[in-house]
């Protein structure tokens, strides 16, 4: 269900957090109920509490047991750690993400999430065990995109994701990291320094999960729709046939966004089979950062940007 633009009734962040705790992240039913009550969160919460909507047994149990104290605990954690709570009804919530199927109702954010709707936005994802070839490509293309003002999103995992974020930081660009765990959880364990650097250098680290939520396989699949949803195009740098990066590419395709891939270094190697499949399915091969810009910009915008960058 695509969200109708605007239409939210002003409400307190406490109501949104209560809805998140009760309904849980990535629950399509939450938006369906919000739509039924014309996006009025107060009426939606009241209907859930009073049993006026169809809920699962677990949802009914959480609705009955979730008290103000649980909500205040989340608010206190965020306040003490400088984490902003951006709800679906806030003007700060990126419109580009609001336009996807089943957008997160709450984003927990460290750093700066502004400017995405008007920027060149690209997601870059790939394997956790990249080849030297793919690392070299990442370190070449990502800084070039940053130099023309692109905002780059990835998933803060080891491998290509980490290379993408670091390439952005080294080149002075903005990058967005989307977590498959709560924002107070460092996963992988050595991610704390990278998360802090992203937030302190104009980018942001975000999660739709409650702050201390531990990672799980399902969460990583759900967060992939956010990675692609924050960008006009998704670049798969290296992926095998079962890579999660292909799930992100699938989300991008379903969201009506462009899909790019780095041509494989070896068409016979299983580690590049994801690129082979993307090429067969019509994704755009990338031999230069200009291939990405040419697809995402109008012709006149591309010509002007390319001319200014080369001069």
Over the stretch 127-148, which tens digit does the pLDDT of each residue have? 999 999 999 999 999 999 999 9
Q: Is residue 188 part of a domain?
A: yes
Supply the pLDDT for residue 310. Answer: 62
Domain identity same for 246 and 126: yes
Domain identity same for 195 and 292: yes
Q: What is the pTM of this model?
A: 0.93
Supply the pLDDT for residue 2. Answer: 40
Supply the pLDDT for residue 309. Answer: 67
Long-range contacts of 198-203 (CB under 8 A, 24+ apart): 198/111, 198/165, 198/169, 199/110, 199/111, 199/112, 200/111, 201/169, 201/172, 201/174, 202/111, 202/112, 202/174, 203/111, 203/112, 203/151, 203/168, 203/174, 203/175, 203/176, 203/177
Q: In degrees rounded to 5, what are phi and psi of residue 235?
A: -105, 120
Instruction: Output the average pLDDT for the chain.
Output: 93
> For residues 290 and 296, is the Cβ–Cβ distance under 8 A?
no
Domain identity same for 69 and 138: no
Give the pLDDT mean for 153-180.
97
Q: Is residue 104 part of a domain?
A: no
Owning domain of residue 40: 1-80
Supply the pLDDT for residue 11. Answer: 57
Domain identity same for 140 and 280: yes
Domain identity same for 72 and 120: no
Domain identity same for 150 and 245: yes
Supply the pLDDT for residue 62. Answer: 96
Domain identity same for 302 and 161: yes
Q: Is residue 240 part of a domain?
A: yes
Q: Taking 70 as the threshold, does the pLDDT of residue 311 lie above it?
A: no
């Amino acid at each position: 269900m695509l969200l109708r633009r605007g239409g939210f009734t002003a409400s307190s962040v406490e109501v949104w957090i209560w809805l998140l705790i009760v309904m849980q992240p990535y629950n399509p039913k939450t938006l369906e109920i919000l739509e039924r009550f014309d996006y009025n969160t107060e009426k939606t919460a009241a209907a859930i509490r009073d049993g006026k909507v169809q809920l699962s047994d677990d949802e009914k149990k959480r609705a009955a047991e979730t008290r103000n104290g649980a909500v205040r605990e989340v608010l206190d954690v965020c306040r003490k750690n400088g984490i902003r709570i951006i709800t679906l009804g806030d003007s700060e919530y990126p419109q580009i993400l609001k336009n996807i199927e089943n957008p997160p109702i709450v984003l927990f954010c460290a750093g700066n999430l502004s400017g995405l709707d008007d920027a060149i936005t690209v997601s870059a994802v790939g394997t956790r065990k990249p080849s030297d070839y793919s690392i070299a490509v990442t370190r070449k293309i990502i800084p070039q995109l940053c130099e023309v003002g692109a905002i780059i999103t990835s998933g803060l995992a080891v491998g290509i994701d980490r290379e993408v974020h670091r390439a952005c930081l080294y080149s002075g660009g903005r990058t967005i990291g989307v977590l498959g765990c709560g924002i107070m959880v460092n996963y992988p364990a050595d991610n704390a320094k990278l998360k802090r650097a992203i937030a302190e250098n104009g980018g942001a680290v975000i999660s739709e999960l409650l702050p201390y939520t531990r990672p799980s396989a399902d969460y990583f699949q759900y967060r992939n729709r956010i990675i692609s949803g924050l960008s006009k195009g998704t670049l798969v740098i290296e992926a095998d046939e079962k890579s999660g990066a292909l799930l992100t590419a699938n989300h991008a395709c379903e969201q009506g966004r462009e899909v790019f891939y780095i041509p494989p270094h070896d068409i016979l190697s299983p580690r590049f089979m994801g690129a082979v499949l993307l090429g067969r399915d019509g994704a755009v091969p990338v031999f230069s950062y200009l291939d990405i810009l040419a697809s995402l910009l109008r012709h006149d915008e591309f010509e002007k940007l390319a001319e200014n960058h080369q001069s």
